Chains A and B, each alone.
Chain A
């Protein structure tokens, strides 16, 4: 890790920790907005995948940020990143939401914005899957395609080249950069060290 990257990371951590500290300060609206704009979409995506219901997912995201506001004084930057902290809150909020849903009528078919997750799957596994989806979604379409063809369809580089009408060298290079970018995205999301 070079020095400039290291300092950029520490600056980011410091800034996010300050944002959390600011949740209960004079600029709480700005702090909440900053936190929401960084993590709101991915938390919503996780909630939708897990709950299979957009309305419940919205409630959950609102609950997460309200809990974050209430417990912001408990956040310790040295122990966890803001993302880890928020997902820990989301995990607890999700458990409560699933308990509540157990008392509600089931969601009607057709209301799901995506395929609902297996409700018996551990939340941690669902969370990991969601983060991998997030990382993959950050790749370009070309990079997603080469991973799809090589990993999920089991094609060789030569077969991918024939299928896509690209030189083998281009496919080789594309897989190389797709792997590197996927790894980088997974590191940014703290899935990989």
Chain B
């Protein structure tokens, strides 16, 4: 697109038909003997119909909402919930329906146990607000002073949780806090966050969890954020409105 050394600065102007008459005539006299400039002009001229299709250069590209990444991650099977089991020779790599009955039961039982644990002394469903449900999460006893308020809003793609936590122990090293939607059939990560020395954090989380599909919202402390399949202890929890 640069053309030759002598006339290269005229290529773009000529290609966009923006040269004055005298300059254009000078360049056109040069073109027949210069294949580099002819090729460069062709390349510029190829841009013009594309720009016509765009219709202008001012249109801004819409930015996705910050929570979309979390909802995309949450919608992927196995993401942050259960690790895919090790593949056996000759077996379909992700045929979860072929799990042995015992293997299928493990996550279900784990979720059932979690629900049973959470159900004890867990606060009831919160009050509806015009924007969703405001819920107070209670401490499991592991961090007695910890508390949180969650604004739960159901969206077409799942559920958005605006979480405000207080007095959580700061995360250290690879530790992360992880929010979960829990049902009798399993649990789904709504996202992770870390906490600084203040013990306070406000974060928006999202998951492809739909209204009525999950009974509890819980927060666990995961010892190693790089290995989300390792489930840490529950720190805060609440029931979700049915």
Contacts and interface: CB of A to CB of B under 8 A. Distances in A.
Contacts of A23: 76
A128 B53 contact: yes
A69 B72 CA distance: 11
Given A29-B228, A129-B54, A156-B18, A36 B73 contact: yes
Interface string A18-60: 0000011110110011001100111011001100001111110
Given A36-B69, A62-B68, A114-B62, A132 B93 contact: no
Nearest to A148: B57
A59 B69 contact: no
Contacts of B64: 40-41, 44-45, 57-58, 61
B47 A179 contact: yes
A182 interface: yes
A123 B95 CA distance: 34
A66 B75 contact: yes
B18 A58 contact: no
Question: Does more than half of chain B's interface fall in helix, strand or loop, or is it mixed?
Answer: loop
Contacts of B2: 176, 180
Interface residues of B, number: 53
Contact of A42 (B11, B60, B61, B73): B61
Contact of B157 (A58, A125, A147, A148): A58
A192 to B, nearest CB: 7
B55 to A, nearest CB: 8
Contacts of B80: 29
A134 B65 contact: no
A58 B73 contact: no
A191 interface: yes
Nearest to A53: B156
Given A40-B68, A175-B16, A179-B15, A148 B62 contact: no
Interface of B: 1-2, 8-13, 15-16, 18-20, 43-44, 46-48, 50-51, 53-65, 68-69, 71-73, 75-80, 83-84, 93-94, 155-157, 208, 228
By Cβ-Cβ distance, the 3 closest A-B pairs, closest first, are A44-B64, A132-B54, A45-B61
29 contacts: A24-B84, A28-B84, A29-B76, A36-B72, A42-B61, A44-B64, A45-B61, A48-B62, A55-B155, A57-B62, A58-B68, A58-B155, A61-B72, A65-B76, A66-B75, A66-B76, A69-B77, A73-B93, A125-B53, A136-B51, A136-B59, A148-B57, A151-B16, A156-B19, A157-B13, A176-B13, A178-B12, A179-B15, A180-B1
